[in-house]
Structures are given as structure tokens and as C-alpha cells.
């Protein structure tokens, strides 16, 4: 199987061939023979020769996959090169209006910039309270607030759209 | 001794007090709000009583609900933990009136300490050193300008009834004083319903060092050594240690004796903490007294060998202190990391949510006081302290290495925590050299994070592992999460991207066979 894997935004080409617990791998042209033991559904013990890595997988509240190697955390995105559809979906996300999403669950306490007004990149648009802290959720870019998707007092989940900037 | 104690708190401190109850053969009563039915303190207790909705004012802060729970469960005494009602004199008084023992100081002692301005007058008589400033609240900006000219800029404005950084302003020039005074006063009025603000000299790069004291009802007061609490972010402590690297035996005795004088002036009983600011010449100034058990009490327990919660129970039951001043000695070094549910890589945003995986450290010299467990959803309603990781060893150097090792083992999945921040702190040359002051953490956070060669070198193995996971272990739908009433309790695969990916992967695997 061939994969393209983005690790913290850097592309790596990976080939895998599994024989039981042994995986013949090629990463960016370099070959590795790994002994992989699954110790829990999201935890691997990987032996590269005698070098041992504990590698964990988890998902951020926003649905990104993270891999933890030792104590280092990496954002990971796996693409199958044969699946063009998934690649197109990724490129579409980059253009168009920017959505501001809640980074954590909480309660909307204030709308700082109302609809149809101009915001600067980095300016706070909505204030969400969680764990006794008020958090200004900022605009990723300069533009017009096209839509405010929440009102004061609303409870939101991580990943919920708060506003759209155009 | 009491037969049954109610703990009017939640989280790790409630668990800590419940443990002490069990060790002393006392039955424990937990209380919980709607958000906390599944909380760890409920699971650990002998009895648990529901006290209302998630909002703290309707549950953990509501006197009547607490007393109803205490009556229903036939508790004889109430331990307030820290935060919530712990420093509320009206609550301490109401406990007595309702026939319960409040495990802490008397309402009168708290009141004499609660207002910092009143405390200053009382302490001054006892010969306690203060930062130069006003003894009374400021009546006008004109008065403020006059005093500031005398003591010299920079100066600090502080709410008389304040705490936790609210109602505080640093003023560098006379022009800034009037607006700063107005801002501090209105913030104090909003936060504490008391707009009184006083002024003192602002000490540049101070250390925050506090002395643990303990009093009993027989007039004995002892000190149990200091804690260095200079590592703070926005006036909230992040890491504490005992002993302080700058305090020697002579200075400890002087600080301890002052702290005992402070406590005696307030007729103080039970556990308390006298906070000092220490300047670069090691002059120390009395800051305030905290009339409760502190979050960071475990570091004192480890270096003195005493159990402060056991002692709280004994003293509240009228027994004399089990130790005398000459019995107290400091052995070894201890350090505490406060594990918060917040994202150090993203503005320290709070990070409530479901803990999908919890791997806790153990091994030599490691103590963990925790209020979380795997599968639990951290509620969004309360403060973000999840657990405390405490290291102990013969020397400060050994403790740092033990904590680094323990932090390597520690893994909290599903939410973000400040664990990576401690890895940075413990590696920092200034921290390791004990060059600490209250500005240390803010300065460290301004340094650009280093992407070191080690991290870069691990990317290929991470890439291979990501592909192996994708091929062999598609994300799993977690059946536990489906029945969970909390709206945040979504399984990782319930978020759209991985779910779609998961089914796709599963289908692909089928096709490959």
C-alpha cells in the first residue's frame, strides 16, 4: 500500500507491506523493517531494530489526528494517492470564506464584532466562556463578518461554526 | 474524632480529603452538582448527595444545599477544600450555627485576614514587615499621587478585598495613576462588591514565597517551612516547590517566626499560609494570609513527613497539634506541577471534554493527586485544574529529573493539557539554576518554541506509524460515548472527518483481502 502522509504539514511518501507483526516500510525512499505490536487500540509499540518507540494516536476536539512519539506530538493526515476525491476535498477547504470555529465547548458570552462589519486579522470576534475563563476567538484574516452563527447565551461544542469572514 | 465528614468541594481536593477520611476510619460524604454525577470524588466517597444544577452558585456555593446534604447524611463536620466556600467567613459562621464543625479557622480569624487593609493594621502591631504603602484604602487620586511620590514608582494598586489578580494595577508614571485607580476600583467593586483600593511599592522581579503554619485550639501555632511559588501565569500558580532554593535555615526561622506572629495576632486555628514577597536582596515582606488548605500543600507534606489533612481533622476535633516546633525538620526536596485542562500551544484556551485515554505515571518519588479518570468528561463549568503531579527526592536536581521522567510517562488523550509546558520549564537553564521570579513564566512563553533536531528526526517514524494506524487500526466508534448525557461526550470518531475515514478504511481493508 502506498500513502502520502502529512506530518506537521510536511509530506512524506510511505509504502507498507505487512507480514504478521513485521512491516516492511519505505519512507521517503528509505527502507525500514519494523516489528509492530498493538498494545491498545490507539497505542503501538514499534521496534526499529532494537530501538523501541511507543506511539499513540488521538484526535483533537476539532477532529484532527495526532500522533505522539515518545512525548513529541505531531499532527498527521494520511492520504491514499489513488483516492483523488479526498485530495480534492482538501484543496477546496483552503479557498473561499473563512469559518471561525469554537476551539472548545463553552458558552457564548459576547459578540464583539457584529455582522457586516470589518475585522482585522487577529481581532477577537466572539467571546466564549469555558472553565471560568473568557476566551476571545479571533478572526484568521481581514475581511467582512458575513455571518454570526451564534447568539449570546448559546452553548457551543468544539468545532461549531461561530462566524464566517469573507 | 469525627465519625462522618462532608466535603463541600469537588475535583482532586475532594478526592484528597476523602483519602484522609478513609485512612483515619472516618466516613466521607461527597456532594455533587448535575455536571458531576460521574466525577471521581463521587466514586471514591462512602456517601454522595446531589446538591443541584451545574452552576456553582446553585450548588457548591449554596449554604442551604450544603447544610441539607450534611443533615441528610448525618455528617458532623464540613471540610471546605480550597476555592468555593473555603474562605467565606459567613459560611464558617453558618456551619457553627447549624451545628456542624467547620474544618478550618474561625469566622473571626478569617474576617480579620479577609480585608487586606485591616490585616495590615493588626500585623503592624505585631512587628510584621510590610511593603511600603498606604494602610488605608485610597480616598482620592490626589492622595494617591502624594503617597506614590513619597514611596517612588513603580507602585501597585490592589483591591482590599481582592485575590487572584483581580483589581490589581501596576502604575509606572504619575499620569497613569488616575485612570488605573478608577479601573482597579470599579473592577474590585464588580468582583468583590467592595471598591476599596490601597497602594504599595511595586517590587521588581519579586519571588513569591509562602510559609505554612498550623494552629490548634490550645493556643499552639507552629510553622512547617516555606514553599517557593514564583512560577505563575497571570497571577495563577503553575509550579511550586519546597524548600525554596533561596531560603536557608536562618531565613526560614525568621520567616517562620513572623508567620507565627501573624497567625497569633488573628487567633488563628487550623491550616493557614502566610504569603511573602521576597526581593532580590532577600528582604521579605508580608503579602497576605490564605485561610485555607492550599492547592500546593503536598510539597510541604513530602518534605516534613506530615499529613496536613489528618492534622486538620485532629485540630478541628479539639485535639492539640501532634507535633511541636522542634520536631519539624525539612528533609529532601519536593516539586508540584499543576496539570490544567488548557492548551499551551493555543493561547491557553481551556480544554474541557472527554478523556479518551489516561496513562498515569508512577515509580520512585512520584505522587499524583488527581480528580480525573479515563472515560470521564471534564465539565466546562469549573476551573481547569485536573491533577497535581508531585515529585520528591533528596535533591532539587533529582526531583527535576524524576518529574521529567514522570511527565514523559504521563499521557492524557482527548483533551489538551499543559503537560508539554512543564517539559519546557524543567529543561530551562534558568529554572534549573533556580533563577526564579514571578515574571519567569511570562518570559519563557515569549521565547520562540524550539523545533529541535530530535523532533524533526522523528517525523519519518511518525509518518510510518500514521500509515500503519490507517491501514490496520481504523478509528473505532466508542459505544460508551453514545449513552453519555453530556453534549461534549462525543467519541473521537463521531467528529465527521475520522468517522468517514474510518469507514472508508474498513471498506478498503475488506477489498484487499
Domain co-membership, A47 together with A106: no
In a domain, A60, yes or no: yes
User: Which residue from B minimizes the CA distance to A66?
Assistant: B466
C-alpha cell at B156: 501597585
Q: Active site includes B10?
A: no
Q: What is the pTM (predicted TM-score) of this model?
A: 0.85
Q: pLDDT per residue over B157-207, tens digit each?
A: 988 877 666 778 899 999 999 999 998 888 888 878 888 898 989 998 899
List all residues 6 or more positions away from A157 whose beta carbon is below 8 Å from its beta carbon: A102, A105, B487, B488, B490
Domain co-membership, A110 together with A72: no
Q: Is B380 on the interface with A (CB under 8 A)?
A: yes
User: Out of A91-95, A96-100, B281-285, B413-417, which region has the weakest mean confidence (pLDDT)?
Assistant: A91-95
In a domain, A92, yes or no: no
In a domain, A87, yes or no: no
Domain co-membership, A75 together with A9: yes
The answer to whether the CB atoms of B473 and A42 lie below 8 A apart is yes
Domain co-membership, A71 together with A121: no
pLDDT of residue B133: 86
In a domain, A90, yes or no: no
In a domain, A124, yes or no: yes
Closest CA to A39 of B359, B507, B454, B506: B359
Mean pLDDT of B456-466: 94
Please check the confidence at residue A66 and state whether its pLDDT lies above 90: yes
Domain co-membership, A60 together with A115: no
Q: CA-to-CA distance for B289 and B285, rounded, in angstroms?
A: 12
Q: Is A5 on the interface with B (CB under 8 A)?
A: yes
pLDDT of residue B127: 85
C-alpha cell at B1: 474524632
The domain boundary, picked from A79, A112, A144, lies at A79
Please check the confidence at residue A64 and state whether its pLDDT lies above 90: no
Candidate from B351, B420, B459 with C-beta closest to A7: B459
C-alpha cell at B375: 472515560
Domain co-membership, A34 together with A70: yes
Please check the confidence at residue B468 and state whether its pLDDT lies above 50: yes
The answer to whether the CB atoms of B413 and A105 lie below 8 A apart is no
Domain co-membership, A66 together with A109: no
Q: Is A25 on the interface with B (CB under 8 A)?
A: yes
Domain co-membership, A69 together with A106: no
Percentage of residues in chain B having pLDDT higher than 90? 74
Going through B141-259 in order, the beta strands assigned E by DSSP cover: 155-159, 168-171, 197-201, 207-215, 221-233, 236-242
The domain boundary, picked from A30, A46, A79, lies at A79
- Total structural domains within chain A: 2
Interior angle at CA B406, CA B272 and CA B463, nearest 5: 140
CATH code at A104? 2.40.50.100
Candidate from A68, A78, A131 with C-beta closest to B384: A131
Please check the confidence at residue B339 and state whether its pLDDT lies above 90: yes
R_g over Cα of chain B: 25
Min Cα distance A77 → chain B (Å) is 8
The answer to whether the CB atoms of B471 and A16 lie below 8 A apart is yes
In a domain, A86, yes or no: no
Catalytic hit among B120, B169, B227, B292: B292
In a domain, A151, yes or no: yes
- Domain hosting A151: range is 97-165
Q: Which residue has the cell 468541594?
A: B9
Domain co-membership, A13 together with A48: yes
The domain boundary, picked from A26, A51, A79, lies at A79
ipTM for the complex shown = 0.82
Please check the confidence at residue B482 and state whether its pLDDT lies above 50: no
Q: pLDDT per residue over B438-450, tens digit each?
A: 999 999 999 987 7
* Contact residues, chain A, for B488 at CB < 8 Å: 105, 157-158
Domain co-membership, A15 together with A44: yes
Could you please report the per-residue DSSP string of B348-377? Answer: TEE--EE--EEE---STTEEEEE---TTPE
Domain co-membership, A113 together with A72: no
CATH code at A43? 3.30.700.30
Please check the confidence at residue B119 and state whether its pLDDT lies above 80: no
In a domain, A123, yes or no: yes
Domain co-membership, A6 together with A66: yes
Amino acid at each position: 500500500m502506498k500513502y502520502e502522509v502529512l506530518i506537521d504539514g510536511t509530506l512524506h511518501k510511505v509504502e507498507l507491506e505487512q507480514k504478521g507483526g513485521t512491516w516492511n516500510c519505505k519512507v521517503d525512499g528509505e527502507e525500514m523493517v519494523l516489528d509492530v505490536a498493538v498494545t491498545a487500540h490507539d497505542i503501538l509499540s514499534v521496534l526499529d531494530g532494537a530501538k523501541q518507540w511507543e506511539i499513540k494516536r488521538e484526535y483533537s476536539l476539532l477532529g484532527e489526528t495526532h500522533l505522539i512519539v515518545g512525548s513529541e506530538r505531531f499532527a498527521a493526515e494520511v492520504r491514499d494517492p489513488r483516492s483523488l476525491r479526498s485530495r480534492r476535498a482538501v484543496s477546496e477547504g483552503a479557498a473561499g470564506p473563512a469559518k471561525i470555529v469554537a476551539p472548545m465547548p463553552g458558552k457564548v458570552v459576547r459578540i464583539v464584532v457584529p455582522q457586516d462589519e470589518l475585522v482585522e486579522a487577529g481581532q477577537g470576534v466572539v467571546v466564549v466562556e469555558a472553565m471560568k475563563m473568557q476566551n476571545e476567538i479571533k478572526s484568521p484574516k481581514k475581511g467582512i463578518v458575513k455571518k454570526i452563527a451564534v447568539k449570546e447565551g448559546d452553548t457551543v461544542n468544539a468545532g461549531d461554526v461561530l462566524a464566517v469572514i469573507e | 474524632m469525627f465519625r462522618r465528614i462532608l466535603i463541600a468541594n469537588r475535583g482532586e481536593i475532594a478526592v484528597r480529603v476523602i483519602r484522609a477520611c478513609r485512612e483515619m476510619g472516618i466516613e466521607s460524604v461527597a456532594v455533587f452538582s448535575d455536571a458531576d454525577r460521574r466525577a471521581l470524588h463521587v466514586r471514591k466517597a462512602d456517601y454522595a448527595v446531589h446538591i443541584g444544577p451545574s452552576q456553582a452558585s446553585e450548588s457548591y456555593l449554596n449554604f442551604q444545599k450544603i447544610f441539607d446534604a450534611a443533615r441528610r447524611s448525618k455528617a458532623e463536620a464540613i471540610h471546605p477544600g480550597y476555592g468555593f466556600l473555603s474562605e467565606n467567613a459567613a459560611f464558617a459562621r453558618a456551619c457553627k450555627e447549624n451545628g456542624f464543625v467547620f474544618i478550618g479557622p474561625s469566622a473571626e480569624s478569617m474576617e480579620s485576614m479577609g480585608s487586606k487593609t485591616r490585616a495590615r493594621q493588626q500585623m503592624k502591631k505585631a512587628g510584621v514587615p510590610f511593603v511600603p504603602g498606604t494602610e488605608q484604602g485610597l480616598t482620592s487620586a490626589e492622595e494617591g499621587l502624594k503617597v506614590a511620590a513619597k514611596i517612588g514608582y513603580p507602585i501597585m494598586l490592589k483591591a482590599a478585598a481582592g485575590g487572584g489578580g483581580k483589581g490589581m494595577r501596576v502604575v509606572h508614571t504619575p499620569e497613569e495613576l488616575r485612570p488605573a485607580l478608577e479601573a482597579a476600583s470599579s473592577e474590585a467593586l464588580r468582583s468583590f462588591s467592595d471598591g476599596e483600593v490601597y497602594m504599595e511599592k511595586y517590587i521588581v522581579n519579586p519571588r513569591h514565597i509562602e510559609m505554612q503554619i498550623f494552629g490548634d485550639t490550645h493556643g499552639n501555632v507552629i510553622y512547617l517551612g516555606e514553599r517557593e511559588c514564583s512560577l505563575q501565569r497571570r497571577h495563577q500558580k503553575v509550579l511550586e516547590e519546597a524548600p525554596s532554593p533561596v531560603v536557608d535555615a536562618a531565613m526560614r526561622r525568621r520567616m517562620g517566626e513572623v508567620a507565627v506572629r501573624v497567625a497569633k495576632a488573628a487567633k488563628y486555628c487550623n491550616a493557614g499560609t502566610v504569603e511573602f514577597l521576597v526581593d532580590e536582596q532577600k528582604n521579605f515582606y508580608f503579602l497576605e494570609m490564605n485561610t485555607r488548605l492550599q492547592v500546593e500543600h503536598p510539597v510541604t507534606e513530602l518534605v516534613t513527613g506530615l499529613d496536613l489533612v489528618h492534622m486538620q481533622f485532629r485540630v478541628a476535633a479539639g485535639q492539640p497539634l501532634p507535633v511541636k516546633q522542634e520536631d519539624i525538620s525539612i528533609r529532601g526536596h519536593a516539586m508540584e506541577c499543576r496539570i490544567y485542562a488548557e492548551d499551551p500551544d493555543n493561547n491557553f484556551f481551556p480544554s474541557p471534554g472527554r478523556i479518551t485515554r489516561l496513562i498515569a505515571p508512577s515509580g520512585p518519588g512520584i505522587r499524583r493527586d488527581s480528580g480525573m479518570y479515563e472515560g470521564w468528561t471534564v465539565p466546562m463549568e469549573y476551573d481547569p485544574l485536573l491533577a497535581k503531579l508531585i515529585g520528591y527526592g533528596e535533591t532539587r536536581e533529582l526531583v527535576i529529573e524524576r518529574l521529567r521522567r514522570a511527565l514523559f510517562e504521563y499521557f492524557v488523550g482527548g483533551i489538551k493539557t499543559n503537560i508539554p509546558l512543564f517539559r519546557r520549564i524543567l529543561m530551562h537553564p534558568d529554572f534549573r539554576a533556580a533563577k526564579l521570579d514571578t515574571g519567569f513564566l511570562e518570559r519563557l512563553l515569549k521565547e520562540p518554541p524550539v523545533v529541535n533536531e530530535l523532533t524533526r528526526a522523528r517525523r519519518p517514524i511518525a509518518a510510518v506509524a500514521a500509515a500503519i494506524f490507517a491501514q490496520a487500526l481504523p478509528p473505532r466508534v466508542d459505544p460508551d460515548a453514545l449513552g453519555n448525557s453530556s453534549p461534549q461526550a462525543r467519541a473521537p470518531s463521531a467528529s465527521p472527518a475520522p468517522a468517514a475515514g474510518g469507514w472508508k478504511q474498513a471498506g478498503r481493508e475488506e477489498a484487499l483481502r
